[in-house]
Amino acid sequence: MASKADIRAAAARYLDGFTAAGADIVEADILQPAEALLDLYGEDIRARAYVTQDPLRGEQMLRPDFTVPVVQMHMADGAAPARYTYMGEVFRRQETETGRPSEYMQVGYEVFDRDAPEAADAEVFALILNALAPLNVRAVTGDIGILKAAIAGLNTSDRRKAALSRHIWRPRRFRALLDRFGGRTEIPAARAALLTASDPMRTDVPLTGLRTRTQIAERISALQHEASQPPIPEGEMALIDTILELRETAPNVLIALRDIAVDLPELRPSVERMALRLDALAARGIDVDTLEFDAGYGRTALEYYDGFVFGFYAAKRPELPPVATGGRYDALTRVLGQGREIPAVGGVIRPGIALEIAP
Amino acid sequence: MTIKLGVPSKGRLMEKTFDWFGKRGIALRRTGSDREYAGAVSGIDGIELVLLSAGEVPRELAAGRIHLGVTGIDMVREKLATWEDRVSELAAMGFGHADLVIAVPGAWVDVDTLGDLDAVAAAFRRDHGFRLRIATKYHRLVREHLKEAGVADYQLVDSQGATEGTVANLTAEAVADITSTGETLRANHLRILSDGPILRSQATLFKSRAAAWSDENRMRLSNLVKKLGV
């Protein structure tokens, strides 16, 4: 295990590299207001972040990542194009005995750019790959945008598409919903009874709580409408299954996706974006022919990635956490931008892991 | 050093624990005045009674300050991360049965499962501008369960007592609480979701893995276990 001083020195070298690439150095508070993080990640973040109580400022969290504060700072400042780099500790609670540290150093690089998102994807990926060059690492890439586009292209109701999109990052619930909408699982008995009741709102129990009678009635009519919808065609279900199982070199995945796009034309723009990205990566000297692409990658990560995603893993030490991770988070800038938005992509290196696998 | 046995210091849990040991030939009793938390053990040697709150038993077991302790499974699993590494279950005692359940207003005729709750949480957040609130004191167990089930757009609000009243008081939309008969939930116009409890709990005799188990204490334990027939 490298000493803290060694890790800090390594972090500073990565930071220098990112500065040389044109990034401005930014800092973020270690104590972050919990509210914004909870709204973004949901209650699950409590299991992964340290929460503490401030008598005046309310619930605070020890910085679980830099992306959120950096995006907040950038959006408050006007959302102009920019490149940032930062280094510092992040804090992650471990609720099981993983042997992983609960406090570790990160060095990051974030690009806010409207003009050429695919070029920015390639820039971040190549910069991190080059920084890790002396190490024996394996890169995995993916693209959440492909799955999002596939959902949008399904021949089914907007409500179903919204339900599926909402659960892209929760694979089990996603699968349960998809199977229901595709007619692969039966409607639960209680739901069936509700749908056939002559007066579904009828109950002896007085209504308590904030949710109104109107809101209950709205959901019942939505459920009735849902029940009247034909299932998602088996052919389209099969396409989604195929996409989720795509795990090949990037060029082979591209060929497969172009085939799928013949039957699912809404997929085309995101497939062409992937092609542009591969060109941009090749232009930066990356061997895309051997680049690994996993269409399911990034679905269990923190929820804000919505396009290109990547991770670098120690080739000989699969038990270690990734040496670096990153991705595109356009929607996050919209959520935190209060009316403004700008496409953004970034990544972080963990110098502690990098030192552990250094030759 | 003797084996320290931690037992809830008052109420039905204490009485039933005393009965349970009594039936197996070990008499536990409180000594001194009504208000004094001191106890004595007879019928076996080398065991010392420690009276404490049922909620503190997990912590004391994990720290190894008591060797054995009686409390609910719910308490141990809520309060101890990686509980299997810290304690082991010696005997399920057959009383204090209770389920940790999620309950919603009974008039929510459209909500029967966690899947329904998740869909309602999404709509609730859109309509009300904040995440659907679930009142509980079992934060860890509830959060793990909902994560496993893929429920989103909810928040846990802390409620250390009278949890069933939070919905009518408009401080929560749903509750996650311990119930044995469900009567208090029903009286507060709440209904339990149909897809099963988060946890089935009962009073259990736990053994600490962290306590100092000298050879002498190991002998005493095997003697105790024989006598208890567990």
pLDDT digits (tens, 9 = 90+) for B140-199: 999 999 999 999 999 999 999 999 999 999 999 999 999 999 999 999 999 999 998 999
Taking the Cβ of residue B212 and every Cβ of chain A, the question of whether any pair is shorter than 8 Å is answered with no
Taking the Cβ of residue B170 and every Cβ of chain A, the question of whether any pair is shorter than 8 Å is answered with yes
Amino acid at position A87, single letter: M
Pairing of strands A137-143, A308-314: antiparallel
Task: Say how many residues make up chain B.
Answer: 230
Amino acid at position A188, single letter: P
How crowded is residue A22: how many other Cβ atoms within 10 Å of its Cβ?
A: 13
Co-location of A106 and A174 in the same domain: no
Co-location of A165 and A293 in the same domain: yes
Alpha-carbon gap: A34 to the closest alpha carbon of chain B (Å): 12
Split into its structural domains, chain A has a count of 3
Determine the residue of chain B that is closest to A223 in CA distance.
B110
Domain extent, residue B157, equals: 98-200
* Rounded Cα–Cα distance for residues B140 and B86 (Å): 17
CB-nearest to B167 from A166, A203, A208 is A208
Confidence of residue A67 (pLDDT cuts 50, 70, 90): very high
Q: Do B152 and A207 touch (CB under 8 A)?
A: no
- Residue A78 scores a pLDDT above 90: no
Co-location of B153 and B176 in the same domain: yes
* Rounded Cα–Cα distance for residues A160 and A64 (Å): 33
Give the pair of three-digit tokens for residue A270: 């995101």
Q: Which residues of A touch B122 (CB under 8 A)?
A: 163, 166
CB-nearest to B120 from A42, A166, A219 is A219
Co-location of A178 and A307 in the same domain: yes
Alpha-carbon gap: A157 to the closest alpha carbon of chain B (Å): 16
Q: B17 with B93: CB under 8 angstroms?
A: yes
Q: Which residues of A touch B194 (CB under 8 A)?
A: 190
Q: Which residues of A touch B147 (CB under 8 A)?
A: 44, 47
CB-nearest to B107 from A96, A167, A205 is A205
Taking the Cβ of residue B209 and every Cβ of chain A, the question of whether any pair is shorter than 8 Å is answered with no
Contacts 24+ apart (CB under 8 A), A179-183: A181/A156, A181/A231, A181/A232, A182/A231, A182/A232, A182/A234, A182/A237, A183/A231, A183/A232
The sheet carrying A308-314 orders its strands as: A24-25, A82-91, A103-112, A344-349, A324-328, A308-314, A137-143, A292-294, A247-249
Pairing of strands B154-158, B132-136: parallel
Taking the Cβ of residue B173 and every Cβ of chain A, the question of whether any pair is shorter than 8 Å is answered with yes
Split into its structural domains, chain B has a count of 2
Co-location of A53 and A125 in the same domain: yes
CA distance to A27, A76, A276, B164, per residue, from A113 (Å): 20, 16, 16, 50
* Residue A85 backbone dihedrals phi, psi, to 5 degrees: -135, 155
ipTM of the complex: 0.90
Co-location of A177 and A189 in the same domain: no
How crowded is residue A103: how many other Cβ atoms within 10 Å of its Cβ?
A: 12
Amino acid at position B70, single letter: V
Alpha helices (H) along B129-214 = 139-149, 183-187
Q: Which residues of A touch B155 (CB under 8 A)?
A: 38, 43
- Residue A192 scores a pLDDT above 90: yes
Q: Do B189 and A173 touch (CB under 8 A)?
A: no
Q: Which residues of A touch B182 (CB under 8 A)?
A: none
Give the pair of three-digit tokens for residue A131: 């920084």
- Residue A302 scores a pLDDT above 70: no
Co-location of A192 and A72 in the same domain: no
* Rounded Cα–Cα distance for residues A337 and A346 (Å): 17
Taking the Cβ of residue B127 and every Cβ of chain A, the question of whether any pair is shorter than 8 Å is answered with yes
Co-location of A112 and A50 in the same domain: yes
Domain extent, residue A67, equals: 1-136+322-359
Q: So what's the pLDDT on residue B27?
A: 95
Co-location of B92 and B105 in the same domain: no
Q: How far apart are the first and last CA of chain B?
A: 23
- Residue A108 scores a pLDDT above 80: yes
* Rounded Cα–Cα distance for residues B176 and B104 (Å): 9
Co-location of B136 and B181 in the same domain: yes
Q: A166 with A42: CB under 8 angstroms?
A: no
> Which residues of A fall below an 8 Å CB-CB distance to B?
38-39, 42-44, 46-47, 95-97, 163, 166-167, 170, 172-174, 176, 188, 190-191, 194, 200-203, 205-211, 213, 215-216, 218-220, 223
Co-location of B9 and B59 in the same domain: yes
Co-location of B137 and B177 in the same domain: yes
Contact pairs from chain A to chain B, CB under 8 Å: 112
- Residue A97 scores a pLDDT above 80: no
Co-location of A178 and A191 in the same domain: no
Co-location of B48 and B18 in the same domain: yes
Q: B203 with B13: CB under 8 angstroms?
A: yes
- Give the model confidence (pLDDT) of B97-107 as tens digits: 999 999 999 99
CATH of the domain at A301: 3.30.930.10
Structure-token match 């499974």, residue found: B73
Determine the residue of chain A that is closest to B115 in CA distance.
A173
Q: Which residues of B touch A203 (CB under 8 A)?
A: 106-107, 109
Handedness of CA B62, B68, B71, B74 (dihedral sign): positive
Instruction: Give the burial class of A20: count Cβ atoms within 10 A of its Cβ; 0-12 exposed, 13-18 middle, 19 or more buried.
Output: exposed
Co-location of B110 and B187 in the same domain: yes
Among residues A173, A195, A230, the one where a domain terminates is A230
Surface of B (4-43) touching A: CB under 8 A: none
Taking the Cβ of residue B124 and every Cβ of chain A, the question of whether any pair is shorter than 8 Å is answered with yes
DSSP secondary structure letter of residue B168: T
pTM, two decimal places: 0.90
CB-nearest to B143 from A47, A174, A223 is A47
Co-location of B29 and B62 in the same domain: yes
Average pLDDT over residues A115-127: 97
Co-location of B28 and B53 in the same domain: yes
The percent helix, strand, coil of chain B (3-state, each to 5) is 35, 30, 35
- Residue B33 scores a pLDDT above 80: no
Co-location of A188 and A124 in the same domain: no
Pairing of strands B3-8, B47-52: parallel
* Residue A306 backbone dihedrals phi, psi, to 5 degrees: -135, 10
Co-location of B151 and B223 in the same domain: no
Co-location of A107 and A250 in the same domain: no
Confidence of residue A305 (pLDDT cuts 50, 70, 90): very high
- Residue A77 scores a pLDDT above 70: yes
Co-location of B86 and B104 in the same domain: no
The sheet carrying B68-72 orders its strands as: B47-52, B3-8, B68-72, B203-208, B87-92
Co-location of B14 and B88 in the same domain: yes
Q: Do B105 and A205 touch (CB under 8 A)?
A: yes
CATH of the domain at B37: 3.40.190.10
- Give the model confidence (pLDDT) of A213-260 as tens digits: 999 999 999 999 999 999 999 999 999 999 999 999 999 999 999 999
Q: Do A44 and B143 touch (CB under 8 A)?
A: yes
Interface test with A, best of B110, B118, B157 (most A CBs within 10 A): B110
Co-location of A265 and A329 in the same domain: no
Determine the residue of chain B that is closest to A194 in CA distance.
B110
Co-location of A218 and A254 in the same domain: no
